[in-house]
Structure 1
Amino acid sequence: MQPGGAKGATNGMNPTNGTVGGTSTDNSSAGNTNGGGMPQVQQQGGVEYVSGGVGLDESKALQAARSQWPLSLRFTGRNAEFLADVHVQIVDAHGASVLDTTSRGPYMLVRVRPGRYTVHVSHDGINKTSAVTVGSNGSARASFIW
């Protein structure tokens, strides 16, 4: 990282759970580990995922990477405002949870095996669900609007 760190170091950062924005000490925020604005790839069990997109660089990087990930999720408000702190649970066709996490921004990219999944999301106490089918050579997308 260049001297000076990330601009707006506390940009809406929630110190309790580390979501939204980023700081020069947040190793998973834009530019700190992957460069090019891409947030740090996380892993839960056998599933890799990345979430973020609050800043412009991160947002552009995640949108550009969507085609390289089997599942792309987007979280916005009714007026197209970006949302973070969305609880995400992805369940496979057999009812097993494959991912249970909270998004750090409006975009989440998930590397799951081809198959049928149910995506359960929750923001501000409002739950939504979407069925998605991830093909063997394509990218499935789901958008959630509150």
Structure 2
Amino acid sequence: MKKFHKTRPVLSSAAIAATLTLGFAGIAAAQQGSAPVQQVPMPQESAPAQQMPVQQMPVQQMPVQQMPVQRGSATGAVNGMNPKNGTVGGSSTDMSSAGNTNGGGMPQVQQQGGVEFVSGGVGLDESKALQAARSQWPLSLRFTGRGAEFLADVRVRIVDAHGASVLDATSRGPYMLVRVRPGRYTVHVSHDGVDKTSAVTVGSNGSARAAFVW
């Protein structure tokens, strides 16, 4: 009699595949039961930054100190002095005799270099005072229109016999009295764009006079 050795049963391919599937499923189940899967939390969006209210500080306005305005003459005089020709002692834009140091309605006496002069006569007091003082000044000038109306803002330039300028100023009225040395002079005047010239001789005594009519 032949003796047959004990042999292991041969599994089919389908059985092997089923066995492997069950084995993998068991391993997965075992892993799920032993170590739970930790879910990593998603990063949360940071809260929007809160804007602090901006406090506006009140602007303090510094008081503006107004400097006193220095009024000059028509020839640029400031504080009684003309920077161009050095005239001091008055203003050609002041049409009143108030505040002068001469009194009696006489306008303020001005000085340019070594020459003194005074002008005005628009007001009645000034006109009378200047007419009364004409004999006391070496040179007297008068400016009027064709209708004998008084003129002001007349530019006066006096030149001596050598051609040197003695006075260059603006008369603020129809009368200008000038204290010059005896000699021969040429007086150049200009008003409203019209120029006029007159030659005068100032003696040692008395007063020379020149009248200009436009």
**The TM-score by the shorter chain falls in which range?**
0.7 to 0.9
Partner of 1:51: 119
TM-score, scaled to structure 2 = 0.57
Q: What is the percentage of aligned positions where both structures have the same residue?
A: 87
Q: Secondary structure at the match of 2:93?
A: coil
TM-score, scaled to structure 1 = 0.82
Shift of 1:19: 2.5
State the Cα deviation string for residues 18-48 of structure 1 (Å, max 9, x = none). Answer: 52622xxxxxx35632110000110001100
Residues 62 and 31 (structure 1), Cα distance of their counterparts in 2 relative to 1, 3 Å cut: farther
Partner of 2:93: 19
Q: How many residues align?
A: 126
Q: Which structure features the higher share of helix residues?
A: 2
Query: Does the 8 Å CA contact 1:122/1:128 hold for their aligned counterparts?
Result: yes
Q: Distance in 2 between the 1:143 and 1:50 partners? A: 16
Partner of 1:7: none
Partner of 1:122: 190
Larger Rg: 2
User: What runs of 5+ residues in structure 1 fail to find an aligned partner?
Assistant: 1-14, 23-28
Q: Distance in 1 between the 2:147 and 2:93 partners? A: 21
Partner of 1:79: 147
CA-based RMSD: 1.4
Shift of 1:138: 1.4
Query: Does the 8 Å CA contact 1:31/1:38 hold for their aligned counterparts?
Result: no
User: What runs of 5+ residues in structure 2 fail to find an aligned partner?
Assistant: 1-71, 75-91
Letter in 1 for 2:100: N
